[in-house]
Amino acid sequence: MFNLTRRHMITATAGAMAAIATTRIAGAQQSGEAADGGEEPFKLPALPYGYDALQSAIDTDTMHLHHDKHHAAYVANLNAAAKQAPQIADHSMEDLLANLDQVPDSVRTTVRNNLGGHVNHSMFWKIMGVAGGAPTGEVAAAIQRDFGGLDQLKTAFNTAGGKVFGSGWVFVTVTQDGRLAMEARPNQDTPLMEGKRVLFGNDVWEHAYYLRYQNRRADYLQAWWTVINWAEIGERYAAARQGKLTI
């Protein structure tokens, strides 16, 4: 049973608390090493490709800034929160987000914003690559059934992304029976907060595209489809059908 009670804080050991550093450099975040040599509970994942791999849609400078600065900051803030409330490290990230009302008041907003940002970006890096192309197999059939085809999905997705006011994300969610749906969220919110699962999503914060596209978000949304890793999305779809998809 999910329960973030005061008892967790009382029983948390001093050693576990000391192992969590409040600040760290990007290299330490990628390895999970804290400033004192211990292990931090939240870690910055390495990119699964080079910073220059997505040039058809996202420039190298943006990738460095987005991954090494923005995503790294979310991870650092989470580890600072875990020092204050170490019990949050006892639960999976999807459970934390689905039960934010049980997270201690002192760190709840920090967890909402920064854990949301962490899981959103961890997904984001995975579902991109150098392949582009089109979906195949079961996920292609699901897109045809639930959106009317890939072209219709792209149009609806790009329209939703263009309508996000300020900062946010556009997601395609997936149920365990394979049904797809689309929704936009503000800031770093995620469908995981309602216990849903995310098949894929795109970041429409300005930091994701402004160096190349300036205020032309529509151009970014259109170009982004050229770097989608449909093989990875197909694997996520299969994992969702098996009840194994997490973040």
CATH of the domain at 193: 3.55.40.20
* 65 domain-assigned: yes
One digit per residue, pLDDT tens: the chain, 247 residues? 355 544 444 333 333 333 333 333 333 334 444 444 468 999 999 999 999 999 999 999 999 999 999 999 999 999 999 999 999 999 999 999 999 999 999 999 999 999 999 999 999 999 999 777 899 999 999 999 999 999 999 999 999 999 999 999 999 999 999 999 999 999 999 999 999 999 999 999 999 999 999 999 999 999 999 999 999 999 999 999 999 999 9
User: What does pTM read for this prediction?
Assistant: 0.86
Give the per-residue pLDDT at 30: 43
Q: How far apart are CA 18 and CA 135, in angstroms?
A: 46
CATH of residue 36's domain is 1.10.287.990
Q: What is the DSSP string of 192-204?
A: GGGT-EEEEEEE-
pLDDT tens digits, one per residue of 193-225: 999 999 999 999 999 999 999 999 999 999 999
Q: What is the pLDDT of residue 149?
A: 98
- For 23-62, b where at least 16 C-beta lie within 10 A, e where not — what string? ebebebbbebbbeeeeebbbbbbebeeebebbeebbbeeb
List the domain range (segments joined by +) for residue 190: 137-241
Contact status, residue 193 vs residue 144, Cβ threshold 8 Å: no
Work out how many domains the chain is built from and give that number: 2
Of 17, 46, 47, residue with least CA distance to 34: 17
* Residue 246 domain flag: no
Please indicate, yes or no, whether residues 235 and 144 belong to a single structural domain of this protein: yes
Please name which of 116, 75, 109, 70 lies closest in space to residue 93, comparing C-alpha atoms: 116
Q: Does 17 share its domain with 84? A: yes
State the pLDDT at residue 2. 52
What is the torsional sign of CA 133, 121, 190, 93?
A: positive
Looking at the domain assignment, is residue 142 inside a domain?
A: yes
Q: Check residue 132 and give its pLDDT.
A: 72
Burial class (CB in 10 A: 0-12, 13-18, 19+), 181: middle
pLDDT for the residue numbered 128: 98
- Residue 235 in domain: yes
Q: Is 132 part of any domain?
A: no
Residue linked to tokens 């770093």: 188
Q: 114 and 15: one domain?
A: yes
Going by their DSSP bridges, the two strands 197-203 and 168-174 should be labelled as antiparallel
